[in-house]
Amino acid sequence: MPNYTVTVATGTQWFAGTDDYIYMTLVGSERCSERTLLDKPLYNDFERGAVDSYDISVGEDLGEIELVKIEKKKYWMHDDWYCKYITVKTPYGDYIEFPCFRWLVDDKEVILRDGRARLAQHDKTGVAKQHRRKELEQRQKTYRWKEWHPGFPMSIDAKAHSELPRDIQFDSEKGVDFVLNYSKAIENLYVNQFMHMFQSSWGDFADFERIFVRIKNTISEYVMEHWKEDFMFGYQFLNGCNPVVIRKCTEIPDKFPVTQKIVQDSLERGLTLEEELKEGNIFIADYELLDGVTPNATDPCTLQYLAAPICLLYKNSQNKIMPIAIQLGQRPGEDNPIFLPSDDEYDWLLAKIWVRSSDFHVHQTVTHLLRTHLISEVYGIAMFRQLPAVHPVFKLLLPHIRFTIAINTKAREQLICECGLFDKANGTGGGGHVELVQKSMKTFTYRSLCFPEAIKARGMESREELPYYFYRDDGCSVWEAVTSFVTDVVDIYYDKDETVQEDEEIQAFVKDVCSFGMQDFDMCEFPKSLQTKEQLVEYLTIVIFTASAQHAAVNFGQYDWCSWIPNSPPTMRKPPPTKKGEVDLKYIVESLPDRGRSCWHLGAVWALSQFQENELFLGMYPDEHFIEKPVKEAMVKFRKNLAEVAKVIKCRNEGKKLPYYYFSPDRIPNSVAV
């Protein structure tokens, strides 16, 4: 009588063990095995981290094993069970691996294909084709699109984290409870005593140190010491939290009537403004997106204000980016003066503070929320809906959408919802952040997610012209490493362009992203199909890079650059000045966030800058969804390339007072999970 030996590995996740009945059926090309009971309740099998083996006897040879069916049946109370993988040893001594890495919940069954990745057109048997089709049919019922707000990218149809499919939930919901995490952060930062002092202004800038100096942080301390300096202000456009707004200016816009006479004292080379423009030494940061956005009005005791400034910047003879003119509104006029470095100290300082506050809003809502969190969720939902677990692209992308849908759902539940935590301290709370996303979506394009193209579109690609743009340099290095890895994997499964065209599942995935996830917005220009291997490589590189490297670059520096409140005020309590010469220190301090809002902000940027427990960084793939040797070799090569990038970044940072490490691969989590 033929004997099959089945080895079952249980995960180490919380509540990974089971005291329910576990049954297994082997589905072969010739016949199926009997439904076999592997474990009875209270037998202590399937405990967390256990690897258990069982013999399954069959009357006749099953043929080639195509599927493994696992069933969990309730004993007393349902006990969720996380299965890592199953290995089947045939009577002929062959070992077949069946990756699982899924939860079995309730009385549902899970059916697994073996670990070899296959495209749909390469499946030959009816059993394989039927399994593939049924898996996607079930997934499309489970992972449904829903519009959270009009004009937003679509999101998952779930009101709360607990409603999500178990496979995409966090292992422990407490770990991503924003209320709990912010409270912990505030406690760790020793600012509890200020938490309820809303409407209570600080006395002066030195007062902010009372909530700041508890945690040693090299960059944030440097910011505190130098935040008033024009050099520090300009440097952040290149290497701060939001290094994506600055662009080369080739022509002064009509709405910003800066003339040679106005800025001539700031130009060092003896050239006119027009000549400096032609030489490529003038840059601009325009926060037009904020124009008309409704400021936070959730607290009737505190008026809050927004501005939509324009800032002109100049690359001086030391290659430093320096501000030379700031206008705080989009429409020129007598009540909208152009502030200059030669103005009164407090006029110029307040103008810069307004720019920094506006930058904070665009960073949080557009650069961070929309362009990493929300777009990665779109890719994740479409992946689950259109790609079966056996598809190589599913296996490739799964680690890079890990916990993304969960963190976004939790954010919609607690953070950016109506009356959520975001409303407590942010000038765009109470709905302004929603307006900002809606406005930004009108200019959001697929090509803008391609890192090298996004840099070039802003005229920032030249290393000779801008030698200290580390965001660009390191980002391009990581982009190239990801592209190389994706190319290696694509080459294994797609021998020619026609194979891409014939892959109905990858075409459905791409179409789902555009037609449903991005709602076919006219401006987005997301592709609805892919025709070549090169297009597929770029598409998958964008997905992986956005979820890993780009998110890391704009998220994990938040405490560094935003914890010194005057450098990145989350709200302003007085309107932008309409005249020069009327501002003093008291006015500035009263414009800045009060004590309570400062503490909420500090707790938020600290919590958002922390890595998850047991974080998986770029290149780390402990769950072996791929079993093929060529893919594993590609992963080894990928890790080697990433290590070289990390080494270069580490060497460059040595001895620097302002190190730039956000693109260092050993600090880039695989996915958007915080």
Q: How far apart are CA 4 and CA 62, in angstroms?
A: 10
Residue 28 φ/ψ region, left for φ over 0, alpha for ψ in the -120 to 50 degree band, beta for the rest: beta
Residues 330, 453, 391, 131: is their CA dihedral positive or negative? positive
Q: How far apart are CA 77 and CA 369, in angstroms?
A: 39
Residue 247 φ/ψ region, left for φ over 0, alpha for ψ in the -120 to 50 degree band, beta for the rest: beta
Three-class SS of residue 552? helix
Among 228, 230, 361, which Cα is nearest to 293's?
A: 361
Please tell me whether 373 is known to bind a ligand.
Answer: yes
Residue 106 φ/ψ region, left for φ over 0, alpha for ψ in the -120 to 50 degree band, beta for the rest: left
Give 165's contacts (C-beta < 8 A, 6+ positions apart).
Answer: 142, 143
Please tell me whether 39 is known to bind a ligand.
Answer: yes
Output the DSSP codes for 16-32. ----SEEEEEEEESS-B
Three-class SS of residue 318? coil
**Is there a contact between 510 and 539 (Cβ–Cβ < 8 Å)?**
yes
Query: Where do we find the tokens 């909208």?
Result: 336
- Give the angle subtended at the CA of 355 by the CAs of 548 and 232, to the nearest 5°: 75
Among 594, 558, 591, 305, which Cα is nearest to 430's?
A: 305
Please tell me whether 79 is known to bind a ligand.
Answer: yes
User: Which tokens is 404 given?
Assistant: 């993304």
Q: What is the CA radius of gyration of the chain?
A: 28
Q: Give me the phi and psi of 313, to 5 degrees please.
A: -125, 155
Q: How far apart are CA 211 and CA 227, in angstroms?
A: 17
Please tell me whether 80 is known to bind a ligand.
Answer: yes
Report residue 270 CA to chain centroid gap.
Answer: 44
Among 525, 486, 527, which Cα is nearest to 507's?
A: 527
What crossing angle do the helices spanning 126-142 and 375-386 adopt, rounded to 10°? 140
Largest Cα–Cα distance of the chain, in whole Å?
96
Residues in a beta bridge with 327: 310, 338
User: Which tokens is 564 given?
Assistant: 């010194």
- Give the angle subtended at the CA of 482 by the CAs of 479 and 483, to the nearest 5°: 85
Report residue 33 CA to chain centroid gap.
Answer: 45
Please tell me whether 368 is known to bind a ligand.
Answer: yes
CA atoms within 13 A on the CB side of 277: 15
Helix (H) or strand (E) holding 480: helix 470-493
**Is there a contact between 594 and 573 (Cβ–Cβ < 8 Å)?**
yes
- Give the angle subtended at the CA of 17 by the CAs of 15 and 18, to the nearest 5°: 110
Summarize the annotated binding site as residue ranges.
Answer: 17, 39, 79-80, 368, 373, 551
Summarize the annotated binding site for Fe cation as residue ranges.
Answer: 368, 373, 551
Summarize the annotated binding site for Ca(2+) as residue ranges.
Answer: 17, 39, 79-80
